[in-house]
């Protein structure tokens, strides 16, 4: 069975739909929790399912290096191996390959430091972690890189990325692409896009398992002309659209979505890679994005932050607060009074504050579970608002 997508109801560009896969249906719009290494951090598959998750995204790069796609295939594939038994998605592994040795600058956008590109070779002369000074090597064939685990050398190509993803057995997979730096000028971005186009065609040509839905990834940096060209290219060659690349600002992100939606077919599902702030969720869905993934809920949960709904939650505090604050030591209220997750139904802020201060592992579970449930529930509310012609009112209530 090849996955299919059907739009049920629209509210201008926003839409509610269903992606049907061999492992079950995904009602969209949908938040996709990230289980990088086959596990959503600090949350069991059972708890994840009870929180309302429909699909999990795992990372090709990490699973290829450890434990290896051949083992996972022998274990029955990603979904069974995880005891998830529901839809899964894998990325191409490209982002992690290109992110080796990066720093975060310019609003947290990842890109290569001190980057020098010579004849399709990227090096980093100031990166001490790579011994020879080479971060990774990009050729027409693919990318040669060093494992973050043991420093061993590996190569990832469009063909090997697809082969790995087919052995992992996810329902939704992603073509291999080049990650441009947000600091690239027009000429460098164009060359990166041209390489991505060639790699994506090779990804498509190498796909053998047609029961997996292959997403083409749009690129083009901050340049409208290149983004438009990329959107048309992906729309022509793929049945599903993933919006990738680096974004310099929220406005740039929203512009990219608008340019992409305008130049891609309405009947194809659209996935946005790596976005999960509350205001962004409303904005991207309003512009026509169907699914999105992000590590924010579990990442901030492990550092003590938890999501809160209006009126306590707002754009000013980014709809979150810190359980480590002294004010929560004697607070008998749940994390969020409007949330019905397991954490909020059973525990007080005071108890979770105590756990976090004591560095008890349960605190990471309870905070992460709440945050994931929070985004899943918000996305469900948005879907219902689209079905009930109430999306503008819901957005106004939050933003």
Per-residue pLDDT, 79: 98
Count structural domains, the chain: 2
Domain match, 249 and 360 both: no
Query: In the structure encoding, which two tokens stand for residue 342, read together?
Result: 């397991």
Does residue 107 carry a pLDDT above 90? no
Taking residues 312-320, what's their average pLDDT?
98
Taking residues 340-361, what's their average pLDDT?
99
| Residues assigned a catalytic role | 91, 293
User: In DSSP terms, which residues pair with 16 in a beta bridge?
Assistant: 9
Per-residue pLDDT, 100: 54
Taking residues 149-175, what's their average pLDDT?
96
Domain presence at residue 117: no
Domain match, 64 and 198 both: yes
Final residue of a structural domain among 265, 294, 323: 294
Domain presence at residue 134: no
Domain presence at residue 112: no
Q: Would you tell me how many other CB atoms lie within 10 Å of the CB of residue 243?
A: 29
User: In DSSP terms, which residues pair with 34 in a beta bridge?
Assistant: 57
CA dist 213 → 16, 196, 273, 275, 316 (Å): 19, 19, 16, 21, 39
Residue 49: pLDDT band (50, 70, 90) is very high
Q: Which residue has the higher pLDDT, 194 or 101?
A: 194
DSSP 90-129: E--SHHHHHTTT-EEETTTEEE-TT-EEETTEEE-TT-GG
Q: What residue numbers bound the domain in which 234 lies?
A: 4-86+158-294
Choose the most confident range, by mean pLDDT, from 125-139, 211-225, 245-259: 211-225
Domain presence at residue 150: no
Domain match, 270 and 356 both: no
Name the percent of the chain lying above pLDDT 70: 91
Q: Which residue has the higher pLDDT, 120 or 20?
A: 20
Taking residues 118-141, what's their average pLDDT?
50
Domain presence at residue 21: yes
Coil, strand, or helix at residue 375? helix
Domain match, 289 and 309 both: no
Domain match, 282 and 308 both: no
Per-residue pLDDT, 182: 83
Domain presence at residue 116: no
Domain match, 168 and 41 both: yes
Which run of H or E residues covers position 17?
strand 14-21
Does residue 192 carry a pLDDT above 80? yes
Per-residue pLDDT, 171: 99
Does residue 375 carry a pLDDT above 80? yes
Name residue, tokens 């049907």.
20
Does residue 183 carry a pLDDT above 90? no
Domain match, 227 and 362 both: no
Query: In the structure encoding, which two tokens stand for residue 344, read together?
Result: 């909020």
Name the percent of the chain lying above pLDDT 90: 82
Domain match, 176 and 271 both: yes
Query: Cis bond leading into 329, ω under 30°?
Result: no
Final residue of a structural domain among 294, 326, 349: 294
Torsion angle defined by CA atoms of residues 266, 271, 275 and 279, in that order, rounded to the nearest 10 degrees? 30
Per-residue pLDDT, 113: 27
Per-residue pLDDT, 94: 85
pLDDT tens by residue, 253-281:
999 999 999 999 999 999 999 999 999 99
CA distance 291 to 284: 9
Average pLDDT score over the chain: 91
The answer to whether 270 and 322 have CB atoms below 8 angstroms apart is: no
CA distance 307 to 334: 12
Taking residues 221-236, what's their average pLDDT?
98
Domain presence at residue 214: yes
Sheet arrangement for strand 56-58: 30-33, 291-294, 270-272, 240-243, 213-218, 172-174, 88-90, 56-58
CA distance 182 to 73: 36
Domain match, 355 and 272 both: no
Does residue 116 carry a pLDDT above 80? no
CA distance 38 to 71: 13
Domain match, 274 and 381 both: no
Taking residues 91-114, what's their average pLDDT?
52
Domain presence at residue 98: no
Give the contacts of 396 (CB within 8 A, at least 6 positions apart): none
Does residue 105 carry a pLDDT above 60? no
Final residue of a structural domain among 277, 294, 311: 294
Domain match, 258 and 164 both: yes
- Tell me the CATH number at 202: 3.20.20.105
Does residue 128 carry a pLDDT above 50? no
Domain match, 331 and 279 both: no
Does residue 365 carry a pLDDT above 60? yes
The answer to whether 81 and 73 have CB atoms below 8 angstroms apart is: no
Per-residue pLDDT, 20: 98
């Amino acid at each position: 069975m090849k996955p299919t997508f059907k739009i049920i109801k629209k509210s201008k560009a926003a839409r509610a739909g269903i992606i049907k896969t061999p492992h079950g249906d995904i009602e969209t719009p949908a938040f996709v929790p990230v289980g990088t290494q086959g596990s959503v951090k600090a949350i069991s598959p059972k708890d994840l399912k009870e929180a309302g998750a429909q699909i999990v995204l795992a990372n090709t790069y990490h699973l290829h290096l450890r434990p290896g796609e051949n083992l996972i295939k022998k274990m029955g594939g990603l979904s069974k191996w995880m005891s998830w038994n529901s839809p899964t998605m894998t990325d191409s592994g490209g982002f992690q390959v290109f992110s080796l040795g990066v720093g975060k600058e310019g609003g947290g956008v990842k890109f290569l430091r001190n980057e020098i590109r010579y004849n399709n070779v990227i090096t980093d002369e100031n990166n001490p972690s790579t011994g020879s000074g080479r971060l990774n090597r990009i050729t027409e064939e693919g990318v040669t890189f060093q494992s973050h685990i043991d420093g061993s050398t590996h190569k990832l190509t469009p063909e090997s990325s697809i082969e790995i993803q087919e052995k992992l057995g996810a329902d939704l997979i992603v073509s291999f692409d080049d990650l441009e730096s947000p600091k690239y000028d027009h000429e460098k971005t164009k060359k990166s896009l041209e390489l991505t186009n060639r790699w994506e065609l090779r990804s498509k040509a190498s796909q053998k398992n047609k029961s997996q839905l292959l997403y083409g990834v749009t690129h083009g940096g901050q340049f409208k002309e290149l983004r438009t060209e990329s959107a048309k290219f992906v729309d022509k060659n793929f049945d599903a659209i993933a919006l990738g690349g680096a974004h310099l600002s929220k406005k740039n992100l929203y512009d990219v979505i608008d340019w992409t939606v305008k130049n891609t077919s309405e009947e194809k599902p659209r996935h946005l890679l790596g976005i999960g702030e509350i205001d962004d969720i409303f904005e991207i869905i309003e512009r026509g994005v169907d699914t999105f993934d992000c590590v924010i809920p579990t990442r901030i949960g492990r550092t003590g932050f938890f999501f809160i709904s209006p009126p306590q939650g707002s754009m000013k505090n980014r709809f979150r607060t810190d359980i480590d604050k002294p004010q929560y030591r004697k607070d008998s209220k749940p994390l969020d009074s409007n949330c019905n997750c397991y954490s909020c139904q059973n525990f007080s802020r005071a108890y979770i504050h105590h756990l976090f201060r004591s560095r008890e592992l349960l605190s990471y579970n309870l905070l992460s579970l709440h945050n994931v449930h929070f985004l899943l529930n918000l996305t469900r509310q948005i879907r219902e608002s689209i079905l009930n012609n109430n999306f503008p009112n819901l957005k106004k209530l939050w933003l």
